[in-house]
Structure 1
Amino acid sequence: MQDRKDSDSRKLLKRLKDILAAAGGGQDRLDQITHNIADSMGTQVCSIYLFRDPETLELSATEGLRAAAVHQTRLRLGEGLVGRVAKTGRYINTANAPAEPGFRFMPETGEEVFPAFLGVPIQRVGEKLGVLVVQSRDSREFSEDELYGLEVVAMVLAEMTELGAFQGSQSDSLPLAHRFPLMIRGATAQEGAAEGQVWLHEARVVIANPVGDDPDRELQRLHEGIERLRSTVDSMVSAADAVGDGEHMAVLETYRMFAHSRSWLKRMEEDIQLGLSAEAAVEKEQSAARARLEMAADPYLRDRLHDLDDLSNRLLRILTGQGTDTGAEMPANPILVARNIGPAELLEYGRKLKGVVLEEGSVGSHAAIVARALAIPLVIHANRITTEALNGDAILVDGDQGIVHLRPEESVAIAFRDKIAMQAEAQNRYASLRTLPATGLCGTSIHLYMNAGLMADLPSLEGSGAEGVGLFRTELQFLIRNHVPRRAELAALYARVMDNAKGKPVMFRTLDIGSDKVLPYMKPQDEPNPAMGWRAIRVGLDKRGVLRMQVQALIRASVGRPLHVMFPFIADITEYEEAYRILMQELSREQRLGHDMPSDIRVGAMLETPALAFAPKKFFEMCDFVSIGGNDLKQFFFAADRENERVRRRYDTLSASFLLMLRQIVDRCADAHVPLSFCGEDAGRPIEALTLAALGIHRLSMRPASIGPVKHLIRQVSLQDLQSVIYEALDAGMPNLRRPVTEWLARNQR
């Protein structure tokens, strides 16, 4: 009986393969498929529902229901039994469909005489494509064999959909997959606008032949692929075992357990016996596992989805030979599209990229930091972009609004090009201000610095008109390596940074890791709130060897030149005192060793916690300079995680309470005669920068592209007059100053 079932299934899949290979339109193929499935399974009805859009299913073909209902009957996701199958990714098998919860009667189809219902999802690795349904006049539940066979057929339909077998034309109602314009609203991680072509970081594996002609040969291919996969995983575990990281080993052992799973292999073997090719069997089980785990309530089980996905993708690349290097040629204006990406991988692409679009990511992620350094727009949380985009697709990235236009209509592209042209024209205007001071009409001068973290940033120093580097992020050199950099490597790098600065000051921030910045070779900390956990100076004071090594490298790099060092995330005066003491000890040690010394040394702190605004006066007197870390300070002041898109935009920098705290910091620094600067995203936003300058913060550090717009605005107004407006509004108890500032600016901007 089993042999007959296998034979019938293979015959049906062989017919589907022939339909795929034959000439004809998408509708013709769908009609033939429904006829063949109904005939093979002995049912009176077979119907295929495909998604018109992410929320709407449409009856696209049927054998047995009324032909007039095709492309007319539509269901919302979750509506009726078909909608439930699509939403949950789980089959429904019932002998009495009208009695099922949520049943929707559709009289135009004539289905009331077919009570037996079996519906299975058509899905491909988490991508919902539609629903395959068979119905019968006999009031019965379908057998497990029939269910399993229909799931195999649905898998082949999913692959046929990916291969474009059912793409529509202008003359029918089928969806134009991968052809129609699509707008995706994500979130801004780096401003800017770019037009180009899609370059997928990891191109999707395409299964050209989902049907296997020879089950024995396909089984052999599967077993050979599994052996190669297990060998690779075993090597990974052995390499990690040599390091001896217990927690990391536990994760990899779970990974190896999946790779050696007998039940996983058995299910794929059964799929091949029913007629699937080896790679189609792998993807069928990957899709089924995804559907099960995405519905799991246990976060641990949902996390295992990534392990299963990665294993399946590795096995698929082994079977298809489609590795990372697919042979495709990168387009002239590449926009990188990926689910997520690490800093080292992004740096390998370098300035060839015009922009980056990620499905995941965060505003403080490694990728965002590198994108800012490369001055390219970055949009994150672009849902389904890796599913929808194909290599070479036209794409527009609006980093200012967090919007992506994939395969845009010409009218949208023309408007977007106008925006890019206007931005370029504005930058040309700002270039003429490069050598001019940022001095307001009142005579107050503001010193504008740039943020940096890579050697690639330094050419922007002269072109932007920056007076120096207000923040050099030293952690990027640690993040892009698989091991701790050597002292000599760091010293050589820091020396090159100062060489390229050509005498302009560079403020080196010591290692700021932890929170969202975890080193590849550092054991991850299981912390409920990492942004407020073991990070930055807390790591440096606990791991003093690394802090001492970095300080030594900075001292040796700055021979005969001034050295500016600032310690991040100081929350208590004792932390600054201890870090300062370590720096002084290393200076004395270097001097005893006979090494040449810096010509001068200035030591400061990043004020990123509200607690430090209330530090004893002694703290401010000890500092040679103080730099407000605006991004962290704002998130802690408002208790709003800047990685959480639901709350990070909820609180305004021009809130009266936040400005009152900044005014207090300005007064305390002035009382101690210590220079104060502001570093963060707000320093590069013209209205916010103008407000900060009017409050009395006369040093601002920002990305290079922001210096021109900020300087342009400062030179058009009287900062003293704006300060009066701000103080009056604060004294009057206004909760937010954005309106009075913008209204004053509209009246007084020259």
Structure 2
Amino acid sequence: MKGIGVSPGISIGKVFLKEEIEIKVEKKNIESSSDEIAKLNDAIEKSLKEVKSIHEYALKNLGEKEAEIFSAHKLMLEDPEFIGLIKGKIEDENVNAEWGVQEASNNYISILENMDNEYLKERAADIKDISKRLINNLMGIENISLSTLEEECIIVSKDLAPSDTAQMRKDKVLGFVTEVGGRTSHTSIMARTLELPAVVGVKDITKAVKSNDIIIIDGDEGTIIINPTQDEINAYKEKRKAFEEFKNKLKELKNSKSISKDDHKVEIAGNIGTPKDIDKVIENGGEGVGLYRTEFLYMDRDKLPTEEEQFKSYKIVAEKLEGRPLVIRTLDVGGDKELPYLEMPKEMNPFLGYRAIRLCLDRVDIFKVQLRAILRASAYGNVKIMFPMVSNLKEFRDAKQILEEMKSELRAENIPFNENIEVGIMVEIPSAAIQSDVFAKEVDFFSIGTNDLIQYTLAVDRGNENISYLYSQYHPAVLRLIKMTIENGHKEGIWVGMCGEAAGDERLIPILLGMGLDEFSMSASSILKARYTIKNISKVEMENMIEEVLNLETPLQVKQYIDEKITFKH
């Protein structure tokens, strides 16, 4: 059977089939909304106790990072907007509490699941988890825990909620297989964090296996073998041995530079969302941070973060990097990424709407606070500022002017900052890529955001499963825009990086190297593989292939060309 390999490695072991009890919530008319709200309050209290217990278990057995998610669950159960929406449905529609929870949750989930943001998609899984817990407690159904596993096993399930993975015994779990999910699902993220092989999106796997079956999972290829032959087991044991040897080889690269076979040096950096993420980047030998997604500072709270809160967060990361670059992206919310405490318009096309730099130039009060915080942090490290979703030169100039005003304020207050702080833009809108020759005369750097650049160039909503096959970083049109941006940046003597998913794509890295990309920024877990790839290819050889690649007609032809012509394999 085939699925999506989301966490590399090979596991061979017994199946633990986690069967889901399907709960059907029926809509019922009620006589007393106050009685239902009392029931809801009891269920919230019980759920809070359970979440606290899970948090303590995860903290003890999995670590601080994995336990952190349950602080967010607690906040959600105490969130006046979320709970208020449930109570509003009960009172306004005279319906039972279970129905109110389901309807309120579905509103949030449908919005979050269609967002072009890994963090927010993960929040949808959290809300599913919370609503299921609430409904179970309202209906008197026990919430099952994976903390009682006694034997080593591979967990097979339709899906795994955050609370499932947090409660499992990591010394007993060899890997995960699920029917649903993608690279950004909670199961995938948890598997990569714990370095456990995982395959998701395996249709009907829960019907194809039973508990105690032996299976092999290949987290690289996305392959599942049920009740394998001895020859298959032996072959995969050899493959597993080779994988472990390769992992050890990667660890040796932690403190080395990212230099190609023909001595061309590039920078491999990490993408982070919170100050805690920097530890993984450093642990994996990251040469800096190419993208600090500051929107996380604004989420899971009921008011805007203060200048001091932001300054402390940026300062922590700047100091830990000890002079290595830190590119801080200014606030990228709006449209599809709502903040409950900001009144934001409902939009027909949120991806094209009131968001990112557009929101910041309109809400200058919010923008100024963030810019002051970033400037103050620049006194403690190699900080750079990056404006997102810039589509025309006026936006950049207006943002730069506000930045200059904040510099003047800080000077007047005798607050130190880096007077020569670099200021760049994310190239994620086709107009910015096409006009990159103009932008390059005024900015200090470009960072190509491929996630949105692909979406806007190909007119593909990648959250729409019906057309997701059209979304591809191998599309020649996308590659031409990337090459154009790099060339135009270099003509004006500025460096060009990439902080989208494509930067960590091992198949695409050789092509990007050949195009002259200076900085590759990716998830921490991809850094050492990317360095290994760079060290085993020649920039000059890749340069000689670029024209041929860009003249290909389809994404499939590009992938096939890379696989056939670039023979370097791990």
- TM-score normalised by length of structure 1: 0.55
State the shift of 1:609 in Å.
0.9
**Alignment-mate amino acid for residue 633 of structure 1:** L
Report deviation, 1:584: 2.0
Q: 1:668 to 1:310 in 2, by over 3 A?
A: closer
Aligned to 1:726: 546
Match of 2:509 in 1: 689
Letter in 2 for 1:678: M
Determine whether 1:229 maps to 2:39.
yes
Q: Distance in 1 between matches of 2:500 and 2:274?
A: 17
Of 8, 11, 28 in structure 2, the residue corresponding to residue 192 of structure 1 is: 8
Percent of pairs with identical residues: 26
The question of 1:639 aligning with 2:459 is answered yes
3-state SS in 2 of match to 1:566: strand
> Within 5 A, what are the aligned runs for 1:470-549?
470-514=290-334, 517-519=337-339, 521=341, 526-549=346-369
Contact kept, 8 Å, 2:156 with 2:206, in 1: the verdict is: no
1:601 aligns with 2:411: no
Tell me which amino acid in the other structure corresponds to 2:417: M
Q: Is the CA contact (8 Å cut-off) linking 1:351 and 1:374 kept in structure 2?
A: no
- Say if 2:371 and 2:403, in contact at 8 Å, map to a contact too: yes
Distance 1:410 1:737, change over 3 A: closer
- 1:380 Cα deviation (Å)? 6.0
Superposed CA deviations along residues 531-553 of structure 1, whole A, max 9, x for unmatched, are 33332222322333332222222
- Of residues 408, 413, 425 in structure 2, which corresponds to 1:588? 408
In the TM superposition, what is the alpha-carbon distance from 1:575 to its structure 2 partner? 1.8
Change (3 A) 1:464 1:225: same
- CA–CA separation in structure 2 for the residues paired with 1:515 and 1:360: 27
Maintained 8 Å contact 1:561/1:599: no
Residues 98-119 of structure 1 show CA distances to partners (whole Å, capped at 9, x for unaligned) of xxxxxxxxxxxxxxxxxxxxxx
Q: Does 1:562 align with 2:372?
A: no
| Structure 2 letter corresponding to 1:738 | K
- With 490-499 and 729-738 compared, the bigger mean Cα shift is at 729-738
Kept after mapping to 1: 8 A contact 2:377/2:417: no
1:627-653, CA deviations, whole angstroms, 9 ceiling, x for partnerless residues? 001121112212222223443344543
Q: What letter corresponds to residue 543 of structure 1 in structure 2?
A: R
Write the distance in 2 (CA, Å) between the matches of 1:370 and 1:481.
Answer: 24
Compared with structure 1, are the counterparts of its residues 697 and 365 closer, same or farther at alpha carbon in structure 2 (3 Å cutoff)? same
Instruction: Identify the residue that residue 742 of structure 1 maps to in structure 2.
Output: 563
Residue deviations 1:139-165, cap 9 Å, x none?
xxxxxxxxxxxxxxxxxxxxxxxxxxx
Q: Where does residue 707 of structure 1 map in the other structure? A: 527
Name the SS for the 2:389 alignment partner: strand
Q: Do residues 612 (structure 1) and 432 (structure 2) align?
A: yes
Measured in 2, the distance between the counterparts of 1:558 and 1:374 equals 33
* 3-state SS, counterpart of residue 564 of structure 1: strand
SS at match of 2:508: helix
Q: 1:728 to 1:187 in 2, by over 3 A?
A: closer
CA distance in 1: counterparts of 2:362 and 2:552, whole angstroms? 46
**Closer, same or farther: CA 609–702 of 1 in aligned 2, 3 Å:** same
- 1:680 matched to 2:500? The reply is yes
Distance 1:347 1:591 in 2: 50
Among 432, 452, 470, the residue aligned to 2:252: 432
> Could you tell me which residue of structure 2 aligns to residue 163 of structure 1?
none
- Aligned letter for 1:743? E
1:449: which partner in 2? 269
Change (3 A) 1:538 1:377: farther
**Amino acid across the alignment from 2:432:** L
Residues 404 and 349 of structure 1: CA distance in aligned 2, closer, same or farther (over 3 Å): farther
Deviation for aligned residue 1:429:
0.9
Return closer, same or farther for 1:442/1:642 CA change in 2, 3 Å cut-off: same
Report the residue type matching 1:723 in the other structure: E
- Report deviation, 1:416: 6.5
Q: 2:476 is matched with which residue?
A: 656
Matching residue of 1:215: none
Q: Is the 8 A contact 1:605 1:627 kept in 2?
A: yes
Q: Does 1:253 align with 2:69?
A: no
2:43·2:137 contact (CA, 8 Å) conserved in 1?
no
Distance (whole Å) between structure 2 residues aligned to residue 426 and residue 489 of structure 1: 41
Q: Distance in 2 between matches of 1:365 and 1:447?
A: 28
Distance 2:240 2:416 in 1: 50
Residue identity opposite 1:228 in structure 2: A
Query: Which SS does the other structure have where 1:700 is aligned?
Result: strand
Three-state SS of the structure 2 residue aligned to 1:690 is: helix
Q: Whose RCO is larger (CA < 8 A, sep 6+)?
A: 2
How big is the alpha-carbon RMSD for the aligned residues of Structure 1 and Structure 2? 5.2
Residues 450 and 473, structure 2, Cα contact 8 Å, conserved in 1: no
Contact 1:225–1:315 (CA<8 Å) still a contact in 2?
A: no
Deviates more, 1:452-461 or 1:629-638: 452-461
- State the TM-score, normalized to the length of structure 2: 0.70
- Preserved contact between residue 680 and residue 702 of structure 1 (Cα < 8 Å): yes
For the structure 1 residues 532 and 387, does the alpha-carbon distance in structure 2 shift closer, same or farther, using more than 3 Å as the test?
A: farther
Alignment of 1:322-333 (within 5 A): 322=142, 329=148
Is 499-508 or 412-421 further displaced after alignment? 412-421
Question: Cα offset for 1:488?
Answer: 2.0
**Contact kept? 1:469, 1:507, Cα under 8 Å:** yes
On the 8 A contact 2:334/2:355 being kept in 1, the answer is: yes
Counterparts in 2 of 1:373 and 1:587: CA distance versus 1, 3 Å = farther
What amino acid is aligned across from residue 439 of structure 1 in structure 2? Answer: I
The one of 380, 384, 393 equivalent to 1:573 is 393
Match for 1:673: what amino acid?
A: G
Aligned to 1:140: none
Post-superposition Cα deviations, 1:11-57, rounded to whole Å, max 9, x if no partner, equal: xxxxxxxxxxxxxxxxxxxxxxxxxxxxxxxxxxxxxxxxxxxxxxx
Q: 1:417 Cα shift? A: 6.4
- Once the two structures are superposed, the pairs formed by residues 310-389 of structure 1 within 5 Å of their partners are 314=134, 316-318=136-138, 320=140, 322=142, 329=148
Q: CA deviation at 1:742?
A: 3.0
Q: Distance in 1 between matches of 2:474 and 2:267?
A: 21
1:505, CA displacement in angstroms?
A: 1.1
Query: Which amino acid is the alignment partner of residue 566 of structure 2?
Result: L
- Looking at structure 2, the residues matched to 694 and 248 of structure 1 have their Cα atoms a distance apart, in angstroms, of 53
CA distance in 1, matches of 2:312, 2:517: 33
Instruction: Rate the CA distance shift 1:560–1:392 in 2: closer, same or farther, 3 A.
Output: farther
Write the distance in 1 (CA, Å) between the matches of 2:128 and 2:548: 60
Change (3 A) 1:646 1:609: same
- Per-residue Cα deviation, 1:472-523 (whole angstroms, up to 9, x for no partner): 2222333344543333222222111122212211111122224654445556
Q: Which runs of 5+ in 2 are unaligned?
A: 25-31, 46-74, 112-126
Shift of 1:311: 8.4
Deviation at 1:205, TM superposition (A): 9.4
Q: Report what 2:48 is aligned to.
A: none
Q: List gaps (5 residues or longer) in structure 1.
A: 1-182, 208-221, 266-281, 301-306
In 2, the alpha carbon distance for the partners of 1:616 and 1:713 equals: 28
Q: Which amino acid aligns with 1:491?
A: F
CA offset at residue 690 of structure 1?
Answer: 0.6
User: Cα gap change, 1:358/1:666 in structure 2, threshold over 3 Å: closer, same or farther?
Assistant: same
Classify the secondary structure of the residue corresponding to 1:508.
strand
Q: 1:535 to 1:509 in 2, by over 3 A?
A: same
Contact 2:391–2:431 (Cα < 8 Å) also in 1: yes
**Structure 1 residues 321 and 507, CA gap change in structure 2 (3 angstroms):** same
Of residues 368-377 and 734-743 in structure 1, the stretch that sits farther from structure 2 once superposed is 368-377
Q: Deviations over 1:635-672 (max 9, x none)?
A: 22122222234433445433333322222212211222
